[in-house]
Structure 1
Amino acid sequence: MKGWGAQQVRDAEAPHLAAGEPLMERASAALARECDRMLEGEGVSPAHARVVVLVGGGNNGGDALFAAATLAQQGARVELVRASSRVHEEGLAAALAAGATVVSGGAAKLAASADLIVDGILGTGTSADPRLRGDARELVAAIAAAKPSGLVVAVDIPSGIHPDSGEVPDPAAVLRADVTVTFGGAKAGLLLPPARDFAGEVRVYDIGLAADLEKLTPLVEVDA
């Protein structure tokens, strides 16, 4: 499996975004399908599932919110936990219109008992030091310490890992994913220790970037 750097993926995305291609729509649709697959694999009907979505302020949060809208339309009870004061407003509006609700108090306890937690806090736009901070760190650390009883899916990367190097500077505040749904191509950090132990099964969904990435030299190649 080839692993690409965050900047390589952004460079591959740029011409598609400039052309107005719906990359977020493709990514959120893939995420929603994967959530359905995971729930059904556990014998839980997506129409009756309880899903908690941790929402960050970037495009990762937007992907998670539009996927939340799809899940809510299917009948799932979807609860949104804002991990940032700034969120993707169009995605939030879509999720709320579909029946999702925003929760605040007791969010960690709610998440720990959900059928599925969607980690959409940080993605490849994270800084050189990817650790969570402030309220987001407190939230994730509390959920991790509670040992969630349901499944965890990470959007693009588990929040708190470095997308290129695989560093995990604050492991107590990283949710171990059962599945990481990553878009365009696998991020290099997902394939490297110690982050690969937090990523679970890495499932790559092409959103139209595969041909562009194949023109570049990946940061890492490992046996699948």
Structure 2
Amino acid sequence: MKVDINCDLGEGSTASDCIADAQLMPYISRCNIACGGHAGNLETMKASLENAKKNHLQVGAHPGYPDPENFGRNSMKISFNQLESSLIDQISQLEKIASKISVSLSHIKCHGALYNDAESSPELANRLVKSFNTHFPGLSIIGLANGEMEKAAQHLDCEFLREGFMDRAYLDSGYLVSRKAPNSVYHSLELIVKQALQLAQNQPLQTYQNNSLRIPVDTICLHGDTPNAKTVAKQVFESLTAQGIDVA
């Protein structure tokens, strides 16, 4: 068996900030690099791409609302044309840097509030998927398993990777519990590893309402900005390997 582990990286401001990211790379198979919207700059993009290349990772763009002051975690009231223009600029910028060091981008994954907004708005999801498919037809899209982005991608016949989260609580509907709710984000290493294994093996997991839910996924997200991210990454990797599951 194989499982894809993705991680959001390059969200610092200097190349030295990318050192911690690089320590996670041996335990993942794919990374999503911030490209100047919510975080990241030319220096961090280049360093992240170079580190990913050394670790033989699949590399994608991680665009978000152009709102670095709030780290892209707040919804922005801007027109779709303004949003689309920013997203295209962000992804194109990363693509240009990647091309210079002979790295090919493989996917796009929206960040933060934009990711959540797309999952709560079929219209936004459709417009985003259509835009990505028009401007970057060779790139697949990562989004919430069984969510609006997946439906939009199916409708438009775009390659889509269904994403699951090892450290987030799920509602019975298959959507994530709001971060504002208590115990919506897991901090227990044991619980995170357990859910990672359940997702990787397509086993049912326990929902926030204490029911059982099975979520078929193509990739599992590891959050790289948690304080113990390296410990989590290493433990998840070792636990998966012990079960005969390759991270690839």
Larger Rg: 2
The two structures have a TM-score, normalised by structure 1, of 0.35
TM-score computed with the length of structure 2 as normaliser: 0.32
Structure ranking higher on relative contact order (CA contacts 8 Å, 6+ apart)? 1
